[in-house]
Amino acid sequence: MKILIIGGTRFLGRALVNTAKMRGHNLTLFNRGQSNPGLFPKLEQLTGDRKENLSALIGRKWDAVIDTCGYEPWVVRRSAERLANSVERYVSISSISVYADLSRPGVDENGAVEQLPEGADETFAMEKYGALKALCEQAAEQTMPGRVLNIRPGLIVGEYDPTDRFAYWPWRVSLGGDVLAPGRPEHRTQFIDVRDLADWTVRMIEQKQTGIYNATGPREPITMGELLEASQKVSGSSARILWVSESLLLENNVQPWSDLPLYLAESDPSTAGADQVSIQKALNAGLTFRTLEDTLQSTLEWAKSRPAGYAWRAGLTREREAELLALASAQSAPPEV
């Protein structure tokens, strides 16, 4: 098949390229040429800014386009309009953040989506992320009705992840010593290896699938305790995992998800279902998963390959972690007699 990828040189994009190449597809990349421009020298690369100039796409034909970086509805609409007569299928990489209510477990593809506040424009801002992603899905479907595959991933993890939201844990555990873990070891979490998402997306294109699918994992529920235990096993670390109460963390302005990746505060009812989204439809459509150990191993190897002194984008600094562990120890110490 002939596949056009909008993006293609960062994280999910490069995983999609690797999968599609391995499966024998003919690829074209369309991007600004700014991120990893020499990454795939043997592939056809079209240069352009989709917000300003789509002329490089004129007169071409592809079986499908994968849009990895649609964040503003007007941009997606413009891209879909340009490609409507050039591709058979539009694949939009969206997000489970589109759901208006993640307070209950088991939200599926029929769940209501976020709406932009009255008077808000379509310019990208993180506080509008979910609503804008929902509008991006709608823009593609309205332009190419019945020809759109909307994939809603949860947290995408693995090598080349620019956010560090998953890599922090296997890396930190590998360093050994006392590791601060948030809340309870039974706390559920969800994520999907970027390679699993890429493999399934390409297979869905081969099968000419359309519609909306949640795509996260793993197949069976996983807890933070299991994740950290597997991180110890993979890294061969003797780290000691110390669970610190959510109340102490919140009282000391520790931010779930950013300071402590993968962790959502259990005291916040609005996110009670954010790590228990239904993926049954995707499983029925053939979504499969690598082992947790495989994901941790590849992520850790990549994380350790980065330059010394790399500034992590998520997680606690060692100094902040030590400070919080000291507070937790003092709080649990028996009173002096």
pLDDT value of position 308: 87
pLDDT, mean of residues 36-63: 94
pLDDT value of position 191: 98
Q: Determine the Cα angle at 14 with ends 8 and 16, to 5°.
A: 90
Strands 188-189 and 222-223: antiparallel
Q: Measured between alpha carbons, how far apart are the two ends of the chain, in Å?
A: 76
What are the tens digits of pLDDT across the range 135-151? 999 999 999 999 999 99
What are the tens digits of pLDDT across the range 132-190? 999 999 999 999 999 999 999 999 999 999 999 999 999 999 999 999 999 999 999 99
Q: Examine the pLDDT at 297 and tell me if it is beyond 60.
A: yes
pLDDT value of position 267: 95
pLDDT value of position 45: 95
pLDDT, mean of residues 21-26: 98
Residue 61: pLDDT band (50, 70, 90) is very high
pLDDT value of position 333: 63
State the Cα–Cα distance between residues 224 and 199, nearest whole angstrom.
26
Mean pLDDT across the chain: 96
Residue 185: cis peptide before it, omega within 30 degrees of 0: no
pLDDT value of position 334: 58
**Domain residue spans of the chain:** 2-153, 168-189+220-272+292-331
Q: Answer yes or no: are the C-beta atoms of 100 and 163 closer than 8 Å.
A: no
168-189+220-272+292-331: which CATH architecture? Alpha-Beta Complex (3.90)
Q: Examine the pLDDT at 215 and tell me if it is beyond 90.
A: yes
Please state the CATH superfamily assignment of the domain spanning residues 2-153 in this structure.
Answer: NAD(P)-binding Rossmann-like Domain (3.40.50.720)
pLDDT, mean of residues 61-81: 97
pLDDT, mean of residues 309-325: 96
State the Cα–Cα distance between residues 31 and 36, nearest whole angstrom.
11
Q: Examine the pLDDT at 337 and tell me if it is beyond 50.
A: no
pLDDT, mean of residues 216-232: 96
Q: Name the percent of the chain lying above pLDDT 70.
A: 99
| Distance (Å) of CA 60 to CA 84, 174, 313 | 11, 49, 39
Q: Examine the pLDDT at 336 and tell me if it is beyond 80.
A: no
Residue 332: pLDDT band (50, 70, 90) is confident
Residue 327: pLDDT band (50, 70, 90) is very high
State the Cα–Cα distance between residues 337 and 335, nearest whole angstrom.
6
